[in-house]
């Protein structure tokens, strides 16, 4: 079996969050996943919206990991920026299929009450939690198992 292709959707929230996204992407790459990330694959002169749409609709992209923090959830719900554009494409796919397995939300942040930040369209679905250092290794393994359908 060839290595799975995974697109990472995330918000450019702040430097720390971007570093975390890059860390997750690097760890996934080291685990044999072909990660497609705008910072790595979207080049000058490319159409950002066409890039996003292709990542979500291209049958060669096996999985899409949605890295959700507070800002991502806000942008998704407010349909703003690139996240808003991806949300319009992704939410339709998620709503239309009860047992979809192409998209998963990966939570990286909780609010002051310990509640995870999820886009509204994903609230009833199971997510992967990488917000707590204690559970990071186990939940990263869950993410890998999901990517590889194991």
Domain CATH code at residue 55: 3.40.50.10140
The tens digit of pLDDT for each residue in 15-26 reads 888 999 999 999
Tens digit of each residue's pLDDT, the chain (150 residues): 589 999 998 888 788 889 999 999 999 999 999 999 888 887 788 777 787 777 777 888 889 898 998 888 888 888 877 777 777 777 776 666 656 788 888 999 888 898 998 888 777 788 999 999 999 999 999 999 999 999
Residue 143 is predicted with a pLDDT of 95
Mapping DSSP onto H, E and C, the string for 7-39 reads EEECCCCCHHHHHHHHHHHHHHHHCCCEEECHH
Q: What predicted TM-score, i.e. pTM, was given to this entire model?
A: 0.84
Residue 94 is predicted with a pLDDT of 64
Structural domains of the chain, count: 1
Residue-number span of the structural domain to which 64 is assigned: 5-147
């Amino acid at each position: 079996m060839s290595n799975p292709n995974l697109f990472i959707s995330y918000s450019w929230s702040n430097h720390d969050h971007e570093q975390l996204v890059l860390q997750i992407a690097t760890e996934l790459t080291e685990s044999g996943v072909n990660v497609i990330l705008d910072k790595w694959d979207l080049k000058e002169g490319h159409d950002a919206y066409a890039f996003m749409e292709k990542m979500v609709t291209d049958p060669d992209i096996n999985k899409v990991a949605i890295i959700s923090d507070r800002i991502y959830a806000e942008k998704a719900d407010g349909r703003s920026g690139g996240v808003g554009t991806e949300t319009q494409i992704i939410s339709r796919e998620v709503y239309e299929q009860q047992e979809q397995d192409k998209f998963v939300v990966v939570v990286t942040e909780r609010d002051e009450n310990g509640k995870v930040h999820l886009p509204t369209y994903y609230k009833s679905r199971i997510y992967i939690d990488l917000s707590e250092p204690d559970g990071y290794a186990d939940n990263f393994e869950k993410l890998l198992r999901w990517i590889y359908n194991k």
